């Protein structure tokens, strides 16, 4: 039974006695001989309030010959939540409150009921209420592992790391070798900047299927925190090899490469950075998804799955939600993205088409349909969707960029240059847009002085980006315009490129620079070296082009600019929808 403060064991603490409520609805109800529907409703409201108060205040509960001190479980605010969720959680709370007051209940029975309620709250991201339920479940069932374990996870998600540590430690005292608990605890210690404490906890998870990927990720982060860059790279590369969807690993990996002085690798991984989390196979946590109710909770579950790179789960979540909310166009676009990322490109296309039938001017839907059609080799239809996107949002950098690429392929070079310029002005990180603007201007017949000015600006903005340095070096080496040609600077830029990366295109650029300076013997030597390396690599398709350039240098001629700037790396690659489908921002996923 319960012992509450005050002489009335059933009266919630702080509530007035019935005899003190003069003229109240309750007093009138007592005087009524046959209460009508309105008065019965009043009874229901009073009963509900009493149930809620039973859980909202700390209490001593007696059962099995012991007294248990139970913490308060505040009733979470559910205003604005789906009616189905409110009804489900309200009903469960009332049932739990009734069980607390019921005589003869065993501690194990009540502990399971608190744990059940806690998992419902937890699944709906109501962490405070979940923590109170788990605490009471642990009090009533002190030897059960899952309650302190889930309590630790709830505290971690609610940004209470010290409380999470204490809960996980209690869980490990019950099951000392539990690898999932060791992994979770290590993650908290890393958040508390204690890598030396975290690392030993990761040894067992590293050996266990389903945890290895996340353990390697955390090992890498711990090594990075200790500035052990070599081990950081080793573990983070292993995490990505185990789970490529864990795109969050690219940031610490980039920092580790930077610590080793490998700037190119650091930049490459920064470009791949995303929100994907390492996978953790954790039955107790995974089970929380079964406690969700209502369309919005399916949306939450789907969004978390997308964030973690679990696209099949995201497809399930969005599909279940749309069954209850079929007119939600944003959610249908999100389902299309999830289908595509899960490998079902046809399904993604169908859902996008459905979304655009329902809302033809949908901004993100049109953009994604554009890149999907582009990837499928339908640039004309893709351009129509890019134009609809820009009609809705003239500052959509992605639509400008992809439309420019379509126009470039169609030979509309001046228009392409305009859209590339708009793309990099709106998104300054788009170094490729600045390079392609210059290439489009060149194709449109712009003076070489104009093209050089664009490339000079690009190199000033991105001094370490090969994609803008290389075309400038080649233009300086080959332009027939004496005001543009600058062999000495071309050689300086070419040497920097080759030193950073001794690749074929950089060796060719050095040969062009030597030819610009009239040092044709050096140009021949570099070109012959490039030909030998290309033949040894078996890339025989490149030999005719390289041998033609060699012949020109032997005849003491420079390459034409049109030839020098016709390299594949100075052209946009074939359209791929993967990047936009995975990374492009959306204001609302549903």
Supply the DSSP string of 388-425, one letter for each residue: HHHHH-TT-HHHHHHHHHHHHHTT-HHHHHHHHHHHHH
Per domain, the residue ranges of the chain are: 1-13+44-76+83-176, 470-579
Residue written as token pair 């009874």 = 43
Place of tokens 């993604």: 348
Q: How many CB atoms are closer than 10 A to CB 566?
A: 14
Distance CA 124, CA 297 (A): 7
With beta carbons less than 8 A apart as the criterion, state whether 152 and 287 touch: no
DSSP string, 469-516: HHHHHHHHHH-S-TTT--HHHHHHHHHHHHHH---HHHHHHHHHHHHH
- Whole-prediction pTM value? 0.62
Residue 48 has a pLDDT of: 39
- Give first-to-last CA distance, the chain, whole Å: 47
pLDDT tens by residue, the chain, 590 residues? 332 223 233 333 333 333 233 233 323 322 333 334 333 333 333 333 444 468 999 999 999 899 999 999 989 988 777 677 788 899 899 999 999 999 999 999 999 999 999 999 998 889 999 999 999 999 999 999 999 999 999 999 999 999 999 999 999 999 999 999 999 999 999 999 999 999 999 999 999 999 999 999 999 999 999 999 999 999 999 999 998 888 899 999 999 999 999 998 999 999 888 878 898 999 999 888 778 776 777 787 788 888 778 899 999 989 988 988 899 999 999 999 999 999 999 999 999 999 999 999 999 999 999 999 999 999 999 999 999 999 999 999 999 999 999 999 999 999 999 999 999 999 988 899 999 999 999 999 999 999 999 999 999 999 989 999 999 999 999 999 999 999 999 999 999 999 999 999 999 999 999 999 999 999 999 999 999 999 998 989 999 999 999 999 999 999 999 999 987 778 898 889 998 998 887 767 77
Q: Are 294 and 324 in contact (CB under 8 A)?
A: yes
> How many residues appear in the chain?
590
Q: Using an 8 Å Cβ cutoff, are 435 and 570 in contact?
A: yes
- Burial (CB count <10 Å: 0-12, 13-18, 19+), residue 67: exposed
Which residues lie across from 69 on neighbouring strands?
60
d(CA 537, CA 367): 40
What span, in angstroms and rounded, lies between the C-alpha atoms of 426 and 447? 25
Find the largest Cα–Cα distance for the chain: 117
Does the domain made of 1-13+44-76+83-176 have the CATH classification 1.25.40.10?
yes
Q: How far apart are CA 157 and CA 168, in angstroms?
A: 13
Residues 6+ apart with CB under 8 A from 40: none
| Lookup: tokens for 294 | 């209502």
Residue 575 falls in which region: left (phi positive, over 0), alpha (psi -120 to 50) or beta: beta
Beta strands 2-3 and 59-63 are: antiparallel
């Amino acid at each position: 039974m319960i012992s509450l403060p005050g002489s009335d064991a059933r009266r919630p603490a702080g509530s007035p006695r019935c005899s003190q409520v003069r003229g109240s609805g309750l007093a009138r109800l007592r005087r009524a001989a046959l209460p009508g529907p309105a008065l019965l409703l009043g009874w229901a409201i009073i009963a509900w309030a009493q149930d809620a108060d039973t859980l909202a205040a700390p209490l001593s509960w007696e059962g099995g010959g012991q007294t248990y001190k139970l913490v308060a479980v505040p009733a979470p605010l559910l205003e604005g939540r789906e009616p189905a969720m409110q009804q489900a959680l309200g009903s469960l709370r009332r049932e739990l409150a009734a069980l607390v007051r019921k005589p003869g209940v065993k501690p194990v029975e009540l502990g399971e009921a608190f744990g059940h309620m806690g998992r419902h709250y937890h699944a709906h991201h109501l962490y405070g209420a979940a923590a109170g339920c788990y605490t009471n479940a642990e009090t009533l069932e002190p030897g059960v592992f899952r309650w302190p374990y889930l309590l630790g996870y709830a505290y971690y998600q609610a940004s209470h790391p010290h409380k999470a540590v204490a809960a996980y430690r209690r869980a490990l005292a019950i099951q000392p070798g539990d690898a999932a608990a060791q992994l979770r605890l290590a993650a908290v210690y890393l958040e508390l900047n204690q890598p030396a404490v975290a690392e030993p906890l990761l040894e067992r998870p590293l050996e266990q299927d389903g945890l290895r990927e996340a353990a390697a990720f955390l090992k890498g982060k711990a090594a990075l925190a200790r500035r052990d860059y070599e081990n950081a790279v080793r573990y983070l590369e292993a995490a990505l090899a185990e789970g490529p969807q864990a795109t969050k690993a690219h940031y610490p990996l980039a920092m580790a490469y930077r610590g080793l002085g490998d700037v190119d690798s650091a930049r490459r991984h920064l470009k791949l950075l995303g929100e994907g989390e390492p996978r953790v196979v954790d039955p107790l946590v995974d089970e929380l998804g079964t406690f969700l109710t209502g369309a919005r909770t399916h949306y939450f579950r789907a969004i978390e799955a997308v964030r973690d790179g679990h696209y099949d789960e995201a497809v399930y979540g969005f599909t279940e939600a749309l069954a209850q909310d079929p007119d939600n166009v944003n959610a249908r676009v999100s389902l299309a993205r999830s289908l595509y990322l899960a490998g079902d490109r046809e399904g993604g296309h169908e859902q996008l088409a459905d979304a655009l039938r329902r809302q033809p001017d949908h901004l993100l839907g049109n953009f994604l349909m554009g890149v999907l059609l582009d990837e499928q080799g339908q640039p004309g239809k893709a351009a129509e969707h890019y134009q609809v996107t820009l009609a809705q949002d003239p500052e959509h950098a992605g639509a400008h960029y992809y439309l420019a690429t379509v126009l470039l392929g169609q030979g509309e070079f001046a228009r392409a240059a305009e859209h590339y310029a708009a793309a990099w002005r709106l998104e300054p990180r788009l170094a490729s847009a600045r390079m392609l603007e210059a290439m489009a201007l060149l194709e449109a017949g712009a003076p070489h002085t104009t093209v050089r000015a664009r490339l000079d600006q690009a190199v000033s903005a991105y001094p370490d980006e090969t994609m803008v340095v290389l075309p400038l070096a080649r233009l300086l080496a080959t332009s027939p315009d004496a005001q543009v040609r600058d062999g000495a600077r071309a050689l300086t830029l070419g040497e920097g490129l080759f030193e950073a990366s001794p690749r074929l295109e950089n060796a060719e650029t050095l040969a062009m620079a030597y030819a610009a300076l009239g040092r044709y013997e050096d140009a021949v030597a570099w070109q012959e070296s490039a030909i030998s390396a290309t033949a040894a690599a078996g890339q025989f398709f490149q030999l005719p082009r390289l041998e033609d350039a060699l012949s020109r240098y032997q005849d003491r001629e420079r390459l034409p600019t049109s030839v020098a700037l016709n390299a594949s790396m100075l052209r946009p690659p074939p359209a791929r929808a993967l990047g936009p489908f995975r990374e492009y921002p959306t204001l609302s996923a549903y």
